[in-house]
């Protein structure tokens, strides 16, 4: 081998450094980190839009923004939080943890992994850019219902293309996760030994692949209605705007489970760890997750009880919605049973996990109320619905993501986060989020409509309380950023307690132990135990 060839060979062996390390990364940990950082940035951008909404609603009357801009804030806030914060954060965790948990060297398709991430910043540049276009940003709610959304001005095609890109990114991520878990598990790691976080992500990935193309179809039909003279949703041309709702919610309902199932997985890892007990009912948890996913495709029209469905249809969707509460109840029962008589300690991840179980259950119960057809006629399009889905998504999905950050930060960085500050962050978040969303149940029951920048003076007090809670919640998230940055930059080394103590049990507790009855030589077992 000539010296030149050796030099070339060495050159190829070098990992890229600096900006190249991130731009061209095919390493699952680096890509996972980029997803998580991106999600955090989007969380604050989406949160700042929520602050605009709550500032406007602080008092009756129009104070700060015109109705068109208010409408754009409501629309883009939802799209940013769903597709920019919660979903990428979940994919980031999947990238980081799934290869480690199944004993794989990396994700199955590392280059596609890189591409699925780098689509996101461009998609959100398109989406956020719409706010600076003449005629204002998109204004049809995140559901993009026609004819409302078709009245959006020049921002409309940018909105549609941004949604397409987000869908492409999600589908690529999902394919990667399925390929990794099915093809790259360590010997002896059977499917029914997978940690629950891995299981929830496999099921979520199938949901993504099945539902995302439906959304793509719906928004493409919107695009052709506006620019190519079709009449899918235009009643004047023989179309039907309700058709859009059917297509959208056939995507939209599985989408809510895409947001929450990875959170279920996170909680199923954390609670057994800090209760120091194996997860109660592992198999039932797997089957419950799968049945939630399957049932999620049969309940879409419970979002549409007020559009004039036939009574048989309304009854079917009501009963199917009731049915989906059963596997969800099984999961809550199993988490509580896991904690029962456990040797519990209450570090930050466990506090967030317990709050998740309690507050997500509140969100679940209000969801059951909305699932009862005659009752939904009263609640529909009021703030009760807003309270419901924020309990599920903020005190549900986002709390689980916060829990996961504290839980895995020592594993990711090698340093301990500041436990005292983390607990302060938890209590601020838990109190503020309830002050923010609990009053909205009462507003909704009293009849305050959603997506409206002005309201009757009778709703003033609860709105003021809600806004104060919102500002408190927003400000307290800055503490989270401080804690994470402080941990990443160094500090107390992660002690053996993290690896051998509570968190060291993580694997064996959330799934049947993969350490015995292996078919391959014991060296694999050692590698797995050292994961």
CB atoms within 10 A of CB 213: 13
Number of helices (H), then strands (E), in the chain = 20, 0
CA dihedral for 297, 512, 272, 270, sign (positive or negative): negative
Active-site residue (options: 28, 193, 303, 388): 303
CA gyration radius, the chain:
24
What is d(CA 195, CA 176) in angstroms, rounded to the nearest whole number?
Answer: 18
- Determine whether 67 is exposed, middle or buried from the number of CB atoms within 10 Å of its CB (0-12, 13-18, 19+): middle
Known catalytic residue at 383: no
What is d(CA 8, CA 20) in angstroms, rounded to the nearest whole number?
Answer: 18
Known catalytic residue at 142: yes
Helix axes 87-102, 196-227, angle to 10 degrees: 140
Active-site residue (options: 25, 33, 116, 170): 170
The SS3 assignment for 36 reads helix
525: left (phi over 0), alpha (psi -120 to 50) or beta: alpha
Active-site residue (options: 255, 314, 347, 506): 255
Active-site residue (options: 226, 253, 388, 390): 253
148: cis peptide before it, omega within 30°? no
The SS3 assignment for 250 reads helix
Known catalytic residue at 170: yes
- Determine whether 4 is exposed, middle or buried from the number of CB atoms within 10 Å of its CB (0-12, 13-18, 19+): exposed
Known catalytic residue at 391: no
What is d(CA 177, CA 99) in angstroms, rounded to the nearest whole number?
Answer: 9
Active-site residue (options: 199, 249, 257, 300): 257
Active-site residue (options: 328, 366, 467, 476): 328
Active-site residue (options: 142, 158, 391, 507): 142
Active-site residue (options: 33, 169, 200, 429): 169
Known catalytic residue at 169: yes
What is d(CA 97, CA 405) in angstroms, rounded to the nearest whole number?
Answer: 12
Active-site residue (options: 185, 226, 302, 388): 302
Apex 215 CA angle, 211 and 221, nearest 5: 145
Active-site residue (options: 77, 185, 277, 425): 77
Q: What is the DSSP letter of 85?
A: I
Known catalytic residue at 77: yes
Active-site residue (options: 331, 388, 390, 441): 331
- Determine whether 274 is exposed, middle or buried from the number of CB atoms within 10 Å of its CB (0-12, 13-18, 19+): buried
What is d(CA 85, CA 450) in angstroms, rounded to the nearest whole number?
Answer: 22
Active-site residue (options: 268, 296, 382, 510): 268
DSSP per residue over 177-238, as a string? HHHHHHH-PPTT--GGGS-HHHHHHHHHHHHHHHHHHHHHHHHHHHHHHHHS---SS-GGGT
Active-site residue (options: 276, 411, 450, 486): 450
Known catalytic residue at 450: yes
- Determine whether 283 is exposed, middle or buried from the number of CB atoms within 10 Å of its CB (0-12, 13-18, 19+): exposed
Known catalytic residue at 164: no
Active site residues: 77, 106, 142, 169-170, 253, 255, 257, 268, 302-303, 328, 331, 450
């Amino acid at each position: 081998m000539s010296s030149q060839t050796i030099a070339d060979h060495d050159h190829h062996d070098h990992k890229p450094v600096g900006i190249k390390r991130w731009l061209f990364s095919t390493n699952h940990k680096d890509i996972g980190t980029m997803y998580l950082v991106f999600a955090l940035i989007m969380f604050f951008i989406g949160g700042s839009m929520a602050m605009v909404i709550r500032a406007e609603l602080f008092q009756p009357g129009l104070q700060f923004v015109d109705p068109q801009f208010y409408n754009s804030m409501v629309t883009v806030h939802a799209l940013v939080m769903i597709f920019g914060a919660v979903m990428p954060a979940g994919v980031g965790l999947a990238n980081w943890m799934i290869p480690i948990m199944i004993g794989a060297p990396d994700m199955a398709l590392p280059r596609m992994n890189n591409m699925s991430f780098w689509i996101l910043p461009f998609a959100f540049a398109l989406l956020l850019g719409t706010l600076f276009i003449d005629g204002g940003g998109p204004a049809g709610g995140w559901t993009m219902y026609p004819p409302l959304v078709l009245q959006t001005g020049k921002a409309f095609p940018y909105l549609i293309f941004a949604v397409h890109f987000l869908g492409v990114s999600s589908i690529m991520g999902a394919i990667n996760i399925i390929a990794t878990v099915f093809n790259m598990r360590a010997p002896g790691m059977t499917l029914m030994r997978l940690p629950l976080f891995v299981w929830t992500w496999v099921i979520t990935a199938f949901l993504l692949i099945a539902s995302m193309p439906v959304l793509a179809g719906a928004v493409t039909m919107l695009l052709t209605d506006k620019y190519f003279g079709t009449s899918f949703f235009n009643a004047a041309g023989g179309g039907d705007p309700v058709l859009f709702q059917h297509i959208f919610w056939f995507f939209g309902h599985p989408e809510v489970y895409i947001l929450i199932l990875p959170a279920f997985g996170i909680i199923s890892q954390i609670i057994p760890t800090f209760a120091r007990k194996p997860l109660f009912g592992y198999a039932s948890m797997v089957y419950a997750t799968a049945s939630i996913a399957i049932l999620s495709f049969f309940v879409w029209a419970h979002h549409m009880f007020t559009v004039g469905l036939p009574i048989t249809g309304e009854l079917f969707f009501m009963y199917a919605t009731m049915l989906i509460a059963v596997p969800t109840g099984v999961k809550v029962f199993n988490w509580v049973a896991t904690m029962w008589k456990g040797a519990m300690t209450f570090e930050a991840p466990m506090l967030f996990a317990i709050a998740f179980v309690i507050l997500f259950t509140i969100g679940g119960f209000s969801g059951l109320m909305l699932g009862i057809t005659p009752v939904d006629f009263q609640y529909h399009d009021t703030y009760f619905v807003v309270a419901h889905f924020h309990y599920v998504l903020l005190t549900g999905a986002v709390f689980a993501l916060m829990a996961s950050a504290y839980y895995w930060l020592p594993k990711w960085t090698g340093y301990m986060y500041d436990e005292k500050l983390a607990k302060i962050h938890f209590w601020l978040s838990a109190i503020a989020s309830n002050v923010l969303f609990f009053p909205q149940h009462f507003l909704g029951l009293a009849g305050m409509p959603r997506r409206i920048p002005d309201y009757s003076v009778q709703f003033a007090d609860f709105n003021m309380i809600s806004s104060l809670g919102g500002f408190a919640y927003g400000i307290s998230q800055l503490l989270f950023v401080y804690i994470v940055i402080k941990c990443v930059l160094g500090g107390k080394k992660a002690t053996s307690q993290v690896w051998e103590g509570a968190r060291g049990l993580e694997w064996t507790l959330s799934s049947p132990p993969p350490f015995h009855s292996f078919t391959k030589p014991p060296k694999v077992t050692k590698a797995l135990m050292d994961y």
